[in-house]
Structure 1
């Protein structure tokens, strides 16, 4: 049987541990007190019974009349004690006589008979029973109070741990400004516990990571800006070259460098988080058709269900254009762009995305199999999709081919989907 999720929390485990330890301690102390008081009470009653037995034995031997509560072979005498006295021994035993607890003491007399004394043990029994009830109630109160105090103390710790975990999740999601800012880390004079140490380490790690990423972003942006000027000069010079195959190669390489530079600048802007949306309502099927026409590729557009979406047209065209270009560059025809409500799927029929890309997403300057490209197209598509608030998922179709699915936020309230094939 699987335990509920809350059973695995630190608070639940601590509460269970405190409860078990308190119960064990209460049981141990209760048993010790019970045994001690019981021995003392029984010992006092035994001494009294033996004293009366000695007096009764002396009176019997002197021929005096026995006092009430004493007798020879009385009816209620326990059989074990009767046998002990008949064998010449003396002893005591607690039993029931006439519906009340009784301490018996018995010894031998002539004729193999037993002389016995009964002492009322009701008060001792009530004392022990009352003590047991007091032990149970006090133990329950002590366990409850300890559990309450322990829960409060653990809750404070778990609250801080949850806050630290939340900050860690925000950092992993890209919010590098997130910090725990535990007040204990700002006051060195205060004792530093383990949670404060974890919080301080997380804040230090986040600050270091943010500094390195910002340095890389600045480097990327600076390199792209510095390349722009010489590339502009190269482009102008290439246009002055005489026609011919060498000129075409130079122009092609210059164009590739300009594209790479513009991609690096776009990535640096996405990394900096300075992009702003220019929202408008767009018809998704018509926008997909424009993207395919602008790409100059032989791609099919299929409309299962058209929709209006509120989005940034330029950025959405950039995302879909990169997906279509990647499908033609690294996949095989036919390339199909399917519009199904606010979701657009771009699929080719090639070998599919590499395993690392499906699992971890696109990585800059990484391609598989020696294919052309710098691995920036899908990176830009993913970054622009995040700016749009859309989800971009990469996978492989069961029957082969790469499949990228872009899911856009719904349009303005009241926007209605269009009939299939409507433009």
Structure 2
């Protein structure tokens, strides 16, 4: 992802017919919504430029600078960076945000690289560009975007499982539960896509021509995902003690599709969360306090499901609950821009499984991208727990949460 030079950026600003440039005078009014549509379209890269598109803020439609009272503030740059993490565009786009001085004027520059796994959606709609115009994708556009996927370039969660058939996918669950959460209602009512086209558009099968379920398709819709992805389950142990080898009072392998597995785990966590009652505070009102905040445990497990490696391992995500702590083990080390050294730092995130991340967002298990660790730290502090501890290795991440 090499940044574009000043000359390249100026050339895009001046080319008023380019489908790789979007210009906004300010970031007020309808600009944030239209800007997100442009980012979604650049990520889809329907013309197949294999080159980044750029959203300029501080530039008029005719290419001249906004001037006047417009300034590129830190708040503006943070708002633009939020496009990647606010969960409106899925899979999360690959983009950078920078303040650049072009022809003597400061401009906010959002550079968006084409997605490896199109189509990309904004609030359940696929946006594309044709010349300087943007619009929603037609059925033919979707087919082209589906065909742009390259198995050798794609993340493992988008690979097809050729030994499986489309019959492994739960059609009723897809049409009645998942699809309404994934695609905007007006698009569903209007598009008339076939079952296979809808599956392909959401990455659940390889393509309409190759009707093989993908890894993410089996995880999301499969009747028995673990048959095809042996590592796709959560091993839960409640250990009555503080050391490995102490007696186990509860043990369960939690599996099923993504939604079923995470809801079963939530039930298990709630069942084991003991609540103490404090009558010693000098008030007549009892004070209830849990040893762990449910939100923190949910964030850590969902992050593990999202970011773990499913390739070349049969190890599950492990949740080991001791008397003094909970350990959550993720069989997948840092990925991409995340390293052992910068793991957990605010603003540093990457996606080993972008399609699984999208599904978790569609199902409501993830509200924003890149905020799981921050929410964990916040909820632990509010509950009186020590900070979460991470032991990060190249092929594994262990999170330790100690009791309040």
Q: TM-score, normalised by structure 1?
A: 0.29
Structure number with bigger Rg: 1
Q: Which has the higher contact order (CA 8 A, sep 6+)?
A: 2
Q: TM-score, normalised by structure 2?
A: 0.30
Whose helix fraction is larger, Structure 1's or Structure 2's? 1
Whose strand fraction is larger, Structure 1's or Structure 2's? 2
